[in-house]
Structure 1
């Protein structure tokens, strides 16, 4: 009797053709904390830090719905210097602000809580995050680390590996922050192309999971416009209106500047059958799918 083949959620998702568009978690604020040791399966929450410090950071992050991620350079480079931390904001008007600092002792992370209440500074380059959290999900390591290596070789100052960003089945996942753009189903060659295009302000529909300042049906609508009419800048489109009836949405996607073409996109949601969606989670669950039925250019 042969042993059963090991289950990999990303392999299964690709074989099924799971839809990417509309799967980016909502969020406009990120906390990044460099941690060069092993990452616990639950990320920052599992670090051996004084509980009061973790509670302080979590409460400040929760107040602004920030996601807290551990980061490290690819290859776990040995360094005697302090770790870095960052608070990154994507403002409602599209402005990007960041604040960076360093830490040696856990109590230094109190600066993170202070930074979450401050606006930050404009002008920093974006940060490219590659999920490589193997203890959380095997696919994040198997697929994420080659992507982390390829991107780090190309843009060593911009790229960090990070803990769980959501959507293990879409590994390798790359998130550009504070732009707030999720990409998935990447490998080393495609990741270099996608990030190169992104940094040139050309977002393509291929590999796009969504913009994190939009909700899932809106993400799917923007992806449909990009797929039909070609790549565009991160802020080339805005959502003018969203209406819902049961499991259907009509979303008006308008180009920028004012007077650019606008589109009405019809989106229908449904749920998949029960599936094993992650490598670690044995329980089966269903996932929401946002299917674009029609894209109409407004006169």
Structure 2
């Protein structure tokens, strides 16, 4: 996908063969706010909301280390009823929790702070309902980065046709050059370099409990070297469920890491992965940012059954 005379970061990244492994931002909680109007370049922070409510939600999200994303159905179709919001929390054993509500006035969004645990109060131990269906987010924030719209919207269309109740377009999730980006929450799994066809396959496999290494950016409960280790195990031994593999230990070893990943049969009970980090040359990494910068790449240099 190219357009003559204009720089597109995702085109450039694919031409270079940029690695997507280990690029999922760390986090285990998400705030989703359905917003059917135009999205500001900086998402929630740029909304013209009642100042006190916006500050309350922002402070609660920051205290809970939650990412705040705006979302809408593909095509900006307007479902019946008021827009919704959600607080989604990842559970390490798969015991995710979800808290959903609706809003009509700006002040209604104060419920989000209550669901997160209001700043200054002890965070709620087990907020929201357990379980629930996953939410599939497709970054289509074109005002933030052109590639998110050019590549994201066809993916959102294809997934919405297949899973209309699960799929939402959302604001910036990070990694513009890996568009189209899809995030499954509260599983906390990032996928990148998708198109309409591969996105349908990846999401259907994910929902069936089979996560593949191809297109996997990482798991958000893990740090980048650990994400790279799990991806290497999936690449070597085949797809697995979200919680089939666990990082049992991580040791820093000079400029790299020794990481043990444990899993169920029929694969090995433990796999030792050596991960090394390297920096890329200075490059333009986003459509909107003409300045060049370097990225860190995490390479699994050895994968050995323990």
TM-score (norm. length: structure 1): 0.96
Partner in structure 1 of residue 251 of structure 2: 243
- 1:234 maps to which residue? 242
Moved over 6 A (4+): none
| Corresponding position of 1:9 | 9
Q: Which residue of 2 aligns with 1:184?
A: 192
The SS at the match of 2:159 is helix
Give 5+ residue unaligned stretches, structure 2.
118-123
- Verify: 1:290 aligned to 2:298, yes or no: yes
1:122 is displaced (CA, Å) by 1.3
Residue in 1 that maps onto 2:121: none
Q: Write out aligned runs for 1:16-55 (5 A).
A: 16-55=16-55
Higher mean C-alpha deviation, range 221-230 or range 259-268? 259-268
Residues 79 and 125 (structure 1), Cα distance of their counterparts in 2 relative to 1, 3 Å cut: closer
CA distance in 1, matches of 2:231, 2:80: 44
Q: Which residue of structure 2 lines up, in the alignment, with residue 151 of structure 1?
A: 159
CA RMSD, 1 decimal: 1.4
Q: Which stretches in structure 1 are left out of the alignment for 5+ residues?
A: none
Deviations 1:149-207 (CA, angstroms, capped at 9, x unpaired): 00000000000000000000000000000000000000000000000000000000000
- The 3-state SS of whatever aligns with 1:10 is helix
The residue that corresponds to 1:209 in the other structure is: 217
Contact 1:238 1:256 in 2 (8 A): no
Instruction: Tell me how many residue pairs correspond in the alignment.
Output: 295
The alpha-carbon deviation at position 120 of structure 1 amounts to 1.1
CA distance in 1, matches of 2:173, 2:47: 17
Task: Provide TM-score, normalisation by structure 2.
Answer: 0.94
**Aligned equivalent of 1:142, options 140, 144, 150:** 150
Which residues of 2 match residues 216-231 of structure 1 at below 5 A? 216-231=224-239
Structure 1 residue 253: deviation in Å? 0.4
